[in-house]
Amino acid sequence: MSSAKPELCVDLNGSTLAWSEGKSSRKYVFQVSTVLGLQLLLQADAQDTSRDWFSSIDHAIHRLAETINQGSPFHSPHGEKPRKANLTRSKSTKGEFFFPPWGS
């Protein structure tokens, strides 16, 4: 296991995924949108890699819904509305996704 620290941690609970054709000139891009308004564009160099990432993240989101929310929608404990976030380009980084072993 790598000793590198993640650049960003994202709570996927209640998040949505969508392929992002038209939001980037790059290939193999998809968007993760969180309930707090964070929007991330993720891009891989190969279509198979991008599909694997999409599938793994989608699986994690569905497992969270099953285990944490029991399928219920997200409700902020303080009644706060999600804030609107603009998509901005950050520096590109290469890294690996780590998905904790939640069981099957």
Q: In the chain, which stretches have pLDDT less than 70?
A: 1-2, 68-104
Choose among 13, 20, 28, 16: nearest CA to 72. Answer: 13
Give the per-residue pLDDT at 78. 46
What pLDDT score does 24 carry? 86
Structure tokens at 62: 């569905």
> In this predicted structure, what is the pLDDT of residue 71?
45
Query: pTM for the whole thing?
Result: 0.63
**pLDDT value, residue 76:** 47
Q: Which helix (H) or strand (E) holds 52?
A: helix 47-64
Distance CA 18, CA 35 (A): 14
- Domain locations along the chain: 16-69
Q: Rounded to whole angstroms, how far apart are CA atoms 99 and 101?
A: 6
Q: How far apart are CA 73 and CA 80, in angstroms?
A: 14
Tokens, residue 104: 């099957």
For residue 96, the model assigns a pLDDT of 55
Please list the residues that pair with 41 across neighbouring strands.
31
pLDDT value for 15: 95
